[in-house]
Amino acid sequence: MRIGLVCPYSWDVPGGVQFHIRDLAEYFIGLGHEVSVLAPADDDTPLPPYVVSAGRAVPVPYNGSVARLNFGFLSAARVRRWLHEGRFDVIHIHEPTSPSLGLLACWAAQGPIVATFHTSNPRSRAMIAAYSILQAALEKISARIAVSEYARRTLVEHLGGDAVVIPNGVDVDFFARAEPRPEWQGNTIGFIGRIDEPRKGLPVLMKALPAILAARPDTRLLVAGRGDEKEAVEGLPGELRSRVEFLGMISDEDKARFLRSIDLYIAPNTGGESFGIILVEAMSAGAPVLASDLDAFAQVLDQGKAGELFANEDADALAEAAVRLLSDPARRAELRERGSSHVRRYDWSTVGADILSVYETVTAGAAAVAADERTTGLRARLGLARD
């Protein structure tokens, strides 16, 4: 099968949607399919052989964050050329409602179109206001996927229609096989995310840290991600700042080793999350998880059975739960076991197969329609009436 994947966000700026598309492409390539990904990227950025650049992206506020999107005449021309040269059996557009390549591709594409909706935003005024513009493009979509029930709910409430829920995928064994790094082991809690994006929750964790260190003075916080490190620790007493170690951006390999090394992974995100891929990665690596009780996080953690939850934005509740877990090795071992079992439902062997089934359904339907149209045309030319 010839598969075209459309990524709305800049390929060279890491993010959950980009990782999902990358892993999906590589999963299908591994199965022998021909896959091409169209994504925003600087023209001088080294790209995998299956990625085609649609040109430079620009930062745009989107869904409580800043997304690097690509939209305009040059982008539209590259979309049309990519579609023409690809001759795809199916086009899979991610975030078709974002003002980026997904919407351009949806307007330009012919044939079966599958769309995945990642965003969870129950109060999106922009999506409501843009409905009339989006409607014509959305009517071309053959099948809709939402990565969570909360992304599906956003779609239903704002745009109508429905979607099948297929979660983000993870290569579980990649994380499970990673070797811990000794320097990251021993009384360590971990956080991965953009440091200066408030909804990722690092300020909440920093507010909780003095209480955690008061009860567990040997604890270290390891932070991986880009952002202003000095600003991140401004609220901490000076004598505690040495207990925070910033690792900057880390590779996929080091992320897996990071999650294999720490005693507790903390996800203090405050909102705007439709899934929680980092929780799945942490469970895959065997890290006990403590997360804010966002609806999407609660779903990923099996309502608290595969990881513990604390009240969103409540630093005191975070600190109390973290101290309790750090003091209870047996409970952490229980969470590791439950998480490692629960996470298998998110492995690409399951998720990829579900997505492929959607492709096969829409392409079979398109083939049947085309065959019917050819038969109708032939009968018309022969002067025969339809039975």
**Are domains 2-169+347-378 and 172-344 of this chain identical in fold?**
yes
Q: Give the bridge partners for 246, in sequence order.
A: 223
Domain parsing of the chain, residue ranges: 2-169+347-378, 172-344
For residues 56 and 44, the answer to whether their CB atoms sit within 8 Å is no
For residues 275 and 166, the answer to whether their CB atoms sit within 8 Å is no
For residues 60 and 99, the answer to whether their CB atoms sit within 8 Å is yes
Segments of 300-386 assigned E as strands: 308-310
pTM comes to: 0.85
CATH class belonging to 172-344? alpha beta
Q: What is the pLDDT of residue 317?
A: 98
**pLDDT single digits (tens) 101-142:** 888 888 899 899 999 998 876 555 555 545 566 677 788 999
Question: Which of 199, 147, 140, 202 minimizes the C-alpha distance to 169?
Answer: 147
For residues 126 and 159, the answer to whether their CB atoms sit within 8 Å is no
* CB neighbourhood size of 320 (10 A): 16
The bridge status of strand 65-69 relative to strand 58-62 is antiparallel
Interatomic CA distance for residues 363 and 366, integer angstroms: 5
| pLDDT tens across the length of the chain (387 residues) | 999 999 988 888 878 899 999 999 999 999 999 999 999 888 788 999 999 998 877 666 555 555 555 666 678 888 999 999 999 999 999 988 877 788 888 889 989 999 999 887 655 555 554 556 667 778 899 999 999 998 898 888 877 788 999 999 999 999 999 999 999 999 999 999 999 899 999 999 999 999 999 999 999 999 999 999 999 999 999 999 999 999 999 999 999 999 999 999 999 999 988 899 999 999 999 999 999 999 999 999 999 999 999 999 999 999 999 999 999 999 999 999 999 999 999 999 999 999 999 999 999 977 666 556 556 664 565 555 544
Interatomic CA distance for residues 8 and 104, integer angstroms: 10
Q: Give the bridge partners for 244, in sequence order.
A: 221
CATH fold group of domain 2-169+347-378: Rossmann fold (3.40.50)
